[in-house]
Amino acid sequence: MSEVTLSVTNKISPEEAARIEGEHGPVVFLSHPDGSLFGFKRLTGDEYQTRQNRIKRGQIDPNPDEQMLQLAAVYPSREAWNAYVGSSVFEVSVYVAAYREAHGGSDVHVADPDEIPSGEDAALWLSNNAYVFGFRRPGRADVKQFQAALVLEREGGGQKPAPGERARGALETLLRNTAASPAFGAWLDQNLFGINAFGEAYLTAFGVRDVQRVSGN
């Protein structure tokens, strides 16, 4: 499967990119080796939550990720993207993966010692090779809140957002509440796929793994 990459300036000029972003806000431009090039606006919090809710409910038609890109396509046009989708096989899924990575969905690992900022304190440092953020160890109150929120989510409920704010899931709330890096919240606002990427690494680092029986009846 071919790789989709961020487009380079010889495929779209800085002036053209600036014009498009002036109309639509931040846009990520992605190109495929087949010669296609598309621009997608940034995913909003409400759009992300709608996608997550549809996935939780098992609604797969239309495909949540394909619908996400359809709504986000702005360059050269949504119609051009729809036509491309209609004639594609696996290319669309690769565009989806690249779009998610461009919005925080890249792999996250426990930071290497040389990645950790000097002079800052945290119980855990996580890195996606572009950004490094620190987190404190969750306390019992954090864990109980997280577990209770998970139960509500599974039952179809969840945290009630304040007026004008987006509902936050259990994992996102845990990450925000335990973040030791002041910049993490603002970064996450713009990179919503970082919720699962950092969240899974966070839970694993603090012991949320499959437990296997080693002895006993």
**What are the pLDDT tens digits along the chain (217 aa)?**
446 555 444 578 889 989 999 999 999 999 888 889 999 998 888 888 888 877 877 776 678 888 899 999 999 999 999 999 999 888 889 999 999 999 999 999 999 999 999 988 999 999 999 999 999 999 999 999 999 998 887 776 656 666 666 778 899 999 999 999 999 999 999 999 999 999 999 999 998 765 444 444 4
Q: What is the pLDDT of residue 91?
A: 85
In degrees, to the nearest 5, what angle opens at C-alpha 142 toward C-alphas 180 and 146?
Answer: 115
Secondary structure tally for the chain: helices H, strands E = 9, 7
Q: What is the pLDDT of residue 159?
A: 60
Kindly state the tokens that stand for 87. Answer: 């004639």
Q: What is the pLDDT of residue 211?
A: 44
- What are the angstrom distances between the C-alpha of 132 and each of 20, 121, 171, 209, 210? 30, 13, 18, 23, 26
Q: What is the pLDDT of residue 10?
A: 52
Q: What is the pLDDT of residue 34?
A: 86
> How far is 180 from 124, CA to CA, in rounded Å?
9
3-state secondary structure at position 181: coil
> How far is 40 from 96, CA to CA, in rounded Å?
11
Q: What is the pLDDT of residue 72?
A: 93
- Give 78-85 contacts, CB < 8 A, sequence gap 24+: 80/38, 81/38, 84/36, 84/38
8 Å CB contact between 33 and 88: no
Domains of the chain: 5-103 (3.30.2220), 109-205 (no CATH)
Q: What is the pTM of this model?
A: 0.81
